[in-house]
Amino acid sequence: MSEFPNLSRRGFLTRTAAVGGMLTVPGLLAACSKTDSGDGKGSKLEQLRKQGYVKVAYANEAPYGFEEGGQLKGEAPTLHREIFKALGVDELKPAFSEWDGLIPGLQAGKYDVISAGMAIIPERCRKALFSEPEFVSPTAMMVKKGNPKNLTDLASAKSAGATIGVMSGAVEKGYVTAAGISGSGIRTLQKPQDGADAVAQGRIDAFVLTGISLRWLARTNPKVEVTDSFVPVVDGVKQYSPGGAVFRQGSEELRDAFDEQLKKITSDPDRYVRLVGEYGFGKDTIPPAGLKTADLCKG
């Protein structure tokens, strides 16, 4: 058993639309094989090598997977591009999806991999295959400049009677309620910028998200700041928030080949930072060696 049980990272909701015309790639949403083999065409990895590309889905949320200047950028696409090149697949073909449509679209064969920094949690593990963790990201809070209520974590927020914003469908709501905040003390928001706006306008006292996302968001929102990261506790278990790539069930061979290359990156801190440092990831976000997806999926 791993020494890191029940770790999770919320699955991020997305901006309402992608930009740059990335939804118009011909054949981008065509269905493909549901399994690695058994269709007479060889393994899924062999098929990807022959066609020269892998179809990846992203949720347009920086810094995990987003479109900028007509290019797919972010932590997940950057790592995945490096990994698939090592596997002999040179191109990522992107498909935008709203967050709630990512796993259903994967199951329907619209793409091969989800490249969105998705949280590894048991509910999702029952529907899809996750890679080993690509990163961990503790939680933080976005507050008004100057942090007028001196918030440092969820316990301090409860003591201060703070109103907390969380993303719809995100695991942070569970963290907040576990800290004893409920009812009118919680406001649900649809996308990250909504949270930043609500803090800046004083409609909420804090917006809870991973520290990585909040620090990225604060770069373009000068009226707010981000607290130091902290590790929420739910039922006595620390929540370190790991995320990874997602594959269709039946794609174990492809996932395992991916994991082999991923391990080469996460075991080399300098290489890891060189690849994704520009997106706010560093040596402190490299998953511990004992953190395993098999344990995360057990709950």
> What tens-digit pLDDT sequence spans the chain (299 residues)?
434 443 433 443 333 333 333 333 333 333 333 445 445 568 999 999 999 999 999 999 889 999 999 999 999 999 999 999 999 999 999 999 998 899 999 999 999 999 999 989 899 999 999 999 999 988 999 999 999 999 999 999 999 999 999 998 788 999 999 999 999 999 999 999 999 999 999 999 999 998 888 999 999 999 999 999 898 999 998 887 899 999 999 999 999 999 999 999 999 999 999 999 999 898 889 998 899 999 999 97
Question: Residues 190, 151: one domain?
Answer: yes
Does some domain include residue 24?
no
Same-domain pairing of 193 and 147: yes
Q: Provide the residue range defining the domain that includes 197.
A: 139-238
Q: Which runs of E-coded beta strand occur in the chain?
A: 53-58, 66-68, 71-73, 91-96, 113-119, 129-130, 135-136, 139-144, 164-167, 186-189, 206-210, 224-226, 233-234, 237-238, 242-247
Domain count across the chain: 2
Residues 71 and 115 in one domain: yes
Do both 231 and 163 map to the same domain? yes
Q: Is residue 157 part of a domain?
A: yes
247 and 104: one domain? yes
Clarify whether residues 129 and 250 are in a common domain. Answer: yes
Shared domain for 69 and 91, answered yes or no, is yes
Residues 6+ away with beta carbon under 8 Å from 216: 62, 63, 279, 280
**Quick one: 208 and 257 in the same domain?**
no
Domain of 60: which CATH number?
Answer: 3.40.190.10
Show Cβ contacts of residue 145 under 8 Å, excluding neighbours closer than 6 positions: 222, 223, 224, 225
Among residues 140, 80, 173, 131, the alpha carbon closest in space to that of 291 is found at 131
Q: Is residue 18 part of a domain?
A: no
- Confirm whether 12 is domain-assigned: no
In a domain, 113, yes or no: yes
Domain boundary among 202, 222, 238: 238
**Are 131 and 252 contained in the same domain?**
yes
Count Cβ atoms below 10 Å from residue 199 Cβ, excluding itself. Answer: 24
Q: Which residues make beta-bridge pairs with 135?
A: 243
Longest CA span, the chain: 64
Would residue 120 count as lying in a domain?
A: yes
Instruction: Note whether 139 and 209 are within 8 A (CB).
Output: yes
250 with 233, same domain? no
Asked if 103 and 121 sit in the same domain, the reply is yes
Q: Is residue 247 part of a domain?
A: yes
Please name which of 5, 2, 7, 3 lies closest in space to residue 175, comparing C-alpha atoms. 7
